[in-house]
Amino acid sequence: GNSVTQMEGPVTLSEEAFLTINCTYTATGYPSLFWYVQYPGEGLQLLLKATKADDKGSNKGFEATYRKETTSFHLEKGSVQVSDSAVYFCALSSTYGGSQGNLIFGKGTKLSVKP
Amino acid sequence: GAGVSQSPSNKVTEKGKDVELRCDPISGHTALYWYRQSLGQGLEFLIYFQGNSAPDKSGLPSDRFSAERTGGSVSTLTIQRTQQEDSAVYLCASSFLSGRRGEQFFGPGTRLTVL
């Protein structure tokens, strides 16, 4: 079945450090890939997405590229800020094999950025 | 505009009682999903509604869980004879488009605690 594996946290960085959160997936067909973010005390919100191979999603300085050959969708940011402290979820959505496009999530990675 | 709303925000109940959780999706969104977020299992898909089609119930963990969507808008998730393992945050999401390309907008969730 479809699944998502992302690096375990927590991740603690200093402000302006480079961030990478690894995400790999297993899926039949051609899934869409997403990164969702959950800030403290808030709901899940979409950070970025990519719907086909080699697409790059980007938002708020974050980027992720859909790599079909390595089945990966790693999240990167060149210079993190304290306000980026949150839990980040990698997810996929597929309509192959009868699935209705529901999201399948990784376990989440908690990021803490220190000033 | 208004986002997805859920009520109650918190619910504490005794083991064996029934509970109802409510979701108001974004107006005009035809697709509605329920997920739950727990420490042990992460984020899991529960059920999906699309318009007037039969719901996809493939994620419901037991027959104690059921959901309905009235008039293609408001949805209610019912858990009968609650157990302690049902304690989790129950999230509702809606989407204008169904399938893998539709961006899902999440509500703030209902935190359910079963004593």
pLDDT digits (tens, 9 = 90+) for A52-84: 999 999 999 999 999 999 999 999 999 999 999
- Mark yes or no for CB contact B102/A101 under 8 Å: yes
> How many whole angstroms separate alpha carbon A77 and alpha carbon B114?
39
Is B43 near chain A, with CB under 8 Å? yes
- Mark yes or no for CB contact B43/A102 under 8 Å: no
Give yes or no for residue A109 having a pLDDT over 90: yes
| pLDDT on residue A97 | 59
Most A CBs within 10 A among B58, B60, B100, B106, hence the mutation to make, goes to B100
- B77, A40, A4, B47 alpha-carbon torsion, rounded to 10°: 10
Cβ burial of B5 (10 Å; 0-12, 13-18, 19+) is middle
